Amino acid sequence: METLTRAQLVEAIYAQVGLSRNESAALLESVLGRMATALGKGESVKISAFGTFAVRQKSERIGRNPKTGVEVPIMPRKVLSFRPSQVLKARINHEPVGSALDEDS
Amino acid sequence: MTRSELIAQLAAENPHLRHSDVEAIVTTIFEEITATLSEGRRVELRGFGAFSVKRRDPRTGRNPRTGESVEVSGKAVPFFKPGKELREVVNGGPPQAGAPKPPARPAKTKA
């Protein structure tokens, strides 16, 4: 099955919004660039009906080279996590949006 | 940053576009990604990351309150794997192409 890449997103913006393909491509890069910049500052990016991208701090720990058994410190680092929204999870499972919430009540 | 803050930033950066167009661009991008994933296809945005769908097998769960077993049906869950450049940006590495550079910091104490 075909993977969606920048080219198809540019085509979708071009078709939906009516900008030129060049400008559609530039705007797509702006969207991704702005998200990356916010995440780089440690901010989370919350896109309603899609999900939340958040930066988590990992502290230093001792790792081991599985081949040699030598212990090496793994430096403290930041990792990015993505939490899908209920809407996205429902859409992927072809469930009516909001059914997950209805079950609780 | 929220979706509306993202739209506001883009609108400020592109004064020649109508606010409704900027909103439509952001909506289209996330709608296309969602639609693709719901067909079970992957989304790959080099430098940023890749979205994919992982299958969870059906399992027998338990109601934690009553201890009753319940069949939990299999489901699909969306997954995001950040790309190399985005991982570097998050760790304060070289900024992604197109992203504004962070202000230069004077070198720390050199004894």
Burial of A45 from C-beta contacts in 10 A (0-12 / 13-18 / 19+): buried
Whether residues B33 and B57 share a domain: the answer is no
Tokens of B13: 């950066």
Whether residues B32 and B58 share a domain: the answer is no
Range(s) of the domain holding residue B64: 42-94
Whether residues B84 and B56 share a domain: the answer is yes
Whether residues B3 and B32 share a domain: the answer is yes
- Contacts A–B by Cβ distance under 8 A: 153
pLDDT digits (tens, 9 = 90+) for A51-85: 999 999 888 889 998 999 899 988 888 999 999 99
- Taking contacts as CB-CB distances below 8 angstroms, the residues of chain A near B23 are none
A96 vs A33, which has greater pLDDT? A33
Write down the mean pLDDT value for chain B: 87
- For the segment B36-41, the average pLDDT, to the nearest whole number, is 96
pTM, entire model: 0.82
Pairing of strands A77-84, A51-58: antiparallel
Whether residues B25 and B1 share a domain: the answer is yes
| Residue at B108 is within a domain | no
Number of domains in chain B: 2
Split at pLDDT 50, 70, 90, the class of A104 is very low
Whether residues B34 and B49 share a domain: the answer is no
Whether residues B2 and B31 share a domain: the answer is yes
| Residue at B10 is within a domain | yes
Q: How far is A2 from chain B (nearest CA, A)?
A: 7
Quote the ipTM score: 0.85
